[in-house]
Structure 1
């Protein structure tokens, strides 16, 4: 009897074990079936979504959907004077939203009057067109000892307003006389020098002798191709007085040691510096390459004249200007730093590997399409908002104090730029 009872227990256990295994197998099969169904559904959802929605290109994520409406121009009267100084050579401009005025730097090299910048009031008519530009003040720049800059020791080109109500001003230097470029901060009311920006030594124009061969080479900025452009992080003038900000400046073209033999395809490599600025501290964050468009044929001068920060995401406008047989040609581009490689440890950027990427560019506007005679446009800034709420963009030309040129202001409406 005991043996029969044990056999019965064994048979019951085997039956239960078979049921358990069978249930496990069916459960596993059901999970696999569900996974297959979900995978098929997900695939068709993704396929249908891809067909129904517009494809987003990588460049669409890098750049803003910007466009510009040209609103008109205004030419400053020839031979304009203010407090016994000739108003001209306006190569850089910045907007003060607190006072609703502009500051424009004069590219004079302290020849016709001491180095200076002007305070301008720009008036618009009801149709948002330029109706008048009034000169309201002039501020003379002072060196560390309180004296004005001597002739041919400064070539001021760019200007930007800080949250503290001061201005940074860039100078190209005078390479042929080994006078280095600078980017210095000045008091906006008195013109007093407050502090200086540092930059790598390979920007300094000088002759270097090889101790072995005794051969000499030149390095640094090329003459009249130094720190032309200058901009602060977007909305800096509206920040609190203690908030840090970013500063960006760039050479107009390649450094001497970076220059290549010009051809119809040559893209000169300008250098673009990125700084972090706060009270009592300035840090160089990075340096990037900016490749200019190939120069038009029979060109006398071609370069990057201005940068303008658009938003905190590292997007900018750039202004490239050339002069040659066909007159002045000016183009605007949108820039993105995404993917650009730091070159701040490279004394020369000739024969770089392909992994060293420059800032990325996208064409925005060729000003020859405006149908007007262009002058030597070099300055660019965002101005006040227009009556419809759109940001305004203002460009100004450097007339080189020539009777054959003019101080030209161009006004645009910017579409696609969010408020800062």
Structure 2
């Protein structure tokens, strides 16, 4: 028996010497992630500029209603052009291509008093369809009017239903140097529902586009990349519960990138896994990277007052690059949102991205939709 153990020990040691300890670590890390690939199928430009007296643009988030096979796209218009709103879209996919996008409806959002939001009181950036046949919508808030960010639930007619309480540390207070940075708040929102009934609890995830004010040290540029991701449980009764807050490390910008941030999240069917969308803008134009996220073992940082110091004691959310869209060979617009769509003809999962055209009037930006197959 002793000789067998010695023999096995020699074999293992030899394997480590030949293969390398680092390679074993890579294999172990790869086992943590799902085997995912994204195949690009094509793009489509929505050329309609108006619908029912509203300006189509600023499409910053998109979500899918599988029961009706319809999509809802949120506009980040601060009511400069038209009231705060989302559009209902019929995205027609045939032969693995988007053949047409038909705008079915525009829905104006209403506040707790049942009134249309005033100008500069919202900056709606993300939308997620819920099992309650409603949508949750995130607003970054408006810095210059001291309007705080929010996450609220609306029915499909735009009527207010409920609010998700946001911790005080996210609410900007200039004299206290805390809260989300101007225009760098909640760009992302996704829902993970495991239940089969409308009254079953479900999970909601959101994250800041960049670091909070109190998490940023101007002497250390890397601190700007320290985003916070929040994980809520939405219950049929009572207020939503914040069950976790984790460190999300945005990729270091490559040469020539002037801006980068976390623009969207998308919950995968597998528990504890998400996709993230990081958008960049630089000398080469817009860029987008899609990452797979693993939530397991990430440190809860809800009691961490600041992230400006050493973070070696914090385990961030693990992430792995799935696709760099700049390698697709197409001109990317300002891609900000993505969602799953219907199953494709071969049974695989479709994924659709949408761009925010920033209400461009010179035609330099467009309402771009990209179609992918998730493998």
Query: Same fold per TM (> 0.5)?
Result: yes
Which of 249, 258, 276 is 2:215 aligned to?
Answer: 258
Cα shift at 1:84: 1.0
How many pairs align?
A: 367
Superposed, which structure 2 residues align to 1:97-112 within 5 Å?
97-112=66-81
- Alpha carbons of structure 1 residues 78 and 323: separation in structure 2 relative to 1, 3 Å: farther
Which of 68, 88, 95 is 2:57 aligned to?
Answer: 88
Superposed, which structure 2 residues align to 1:129-144 within 5 Å?
129-144=97-112
Cα shift at 1:264: 7.5
Superposed CA deviations along residues 293-321 of structure 1, whole A, max 9, x for unmatched, are 12244544321000011134311111111
- Alpha carbons of structure 1 residues 278 and 49: separation in structure 2 relative to 1, 3 Å: farther
Superposed CA deviations along residues 215-250 of structure 1, whole A, max 9, x for unmatched, are xx42111111011100011x56x8321211100001
| Structure 1 residue 279 corresponds to structure 2 residue 236 | yes
Which of 241, 263, 271 is 1:305 aligned to?
Answer: 263
Larger radius of gyration, structure 1 or 2?
1
Is residue 250–residue 271 contact of structure 1 (8 Å, CA) maintained in 2? yes
Superposed CA deviations along residues 23-43 of structure 1, whole A, max 9, x for unmatched, are xxxxxxxxxxxx558757987
Which of 75, 97, 113 is 2:82 aligned to?
Answer: 113
- Alpha carbons of structure 1 residues 268 and 42: separation in structure 2 relative to 1, 3 Å: closer
Return 5+ residue gaps in structure 2 as ranges.
Answer: none
| Structure 1 residue 200 corresponds to structure 2 residue 158 | no
Aligned Cα root-mean-square deviation (Å): 2.5
In structure 1, C-alpha distance between the alignment counterparts of 2:73 and 2:219, rounded to whole Å: 33
In structure 2, C-alpha distance between the alignment counterparts of 1:41 and 1:257, rounded to whole Å: 56
Superposed CA deviations along residues 171-226 of structure 1, whole A, max 9, x for unmatched, are 011123321111100001x2111111112101111133xxxxxxxx4211111101
| Structure 1 residue 228 corresponds to structure 2 residue 228 | no
In structure 1, C-alpha distance between the alignment counterparts of 2:217 and 2:287, rounded to whole Å: 22
Is residue 293–residue 320 contact of structure 2 (8 Å, CA) maintained in 1? yes
In structure 2, C-alpha distance between the alignment counterparts of 1:193 and 1:107, rounded to whole Å: 18
In structure 1, C-alpha distance between the alignment counterparts of 2:8 and 2:269, rounded to whole Å: 37
In structure 2, C-alpha distance between the alignment counterparts of 1:278 and 1:294, rounded to whole Å: 37
In structure 2, C-alpha distance between the alignment counterparts of 1:302 and 1:144, rounded to whole Å: 34
Return 5+ residue gaps in structure 1 as ranges.
Answer: 1-34, 209-216, 416-420
| Structure 1 residue 240 corresponds to structure 2 residue 210 | no
In structure 2, C-alpha distance between the alignment counterparts of 1:343 and 1:395, rounded to whole Å: 30
Is residue 260–residue 268 contact of structure 1 (8 Å, CA) maintained in 2? no
- Alpha carbons of structure 1 residues 240 and 41: separation in structure 2 relative to 1, 3 Å: farther
In structure 2, C-alpha distance between the alignment counterparts of 1:100 and 1:120, rounded to whole Å: 9
In structure 2, C-alpha distance between the alignment counterparts of 1:108 and 1:285, rounded to whole Å: 31
Deviating above 6 A after TM superposition, structure 1's stretches of 4 or more consecutive aligned residues are 40-51
| TM-score calculated relative to the size of structure 1 | 0.82
Which of 26, 32, 39 is 1:62 aligned to?
Answer: 32
Is residue 245–residue 278 contact of structure 1 (8 Å, CA) maintained in 2? yes
Superposed CA deviations along residues 96-122 of structure 1, whole A, max 9, x for unmatched, are 110001011011011211111011011
In structure 2, C-alpha distance between the alignment counterparts of 1:155 and 1:148, rounded to whole Å: 14
Give the corresponding residue for 1:359. 317
Superposed, which structure 2 residues align to 1:10-409 within 5 Å?
36=2, 57-79=27-49, 81-126=50-95, 128-188=96-156, 190-208=157-175, 217-233=176-192, 235=193, 239-261=196-218, 268-281=225-238, 282-403=240-361, 404-409=364-369
Secondary structure in structure 2 of the residue aligned to 1:228? coil
Give the corresponding residue for 1:20. none
In structure 2, C-alpha distance between the alignment counterparts of 1:265 and 1:390, rounded to whole Å: 38
| TM-score calculated relative to the size of structure 2 | 0.91
Secondary structure in structure 2 of the residue aligned to 1:334? strand
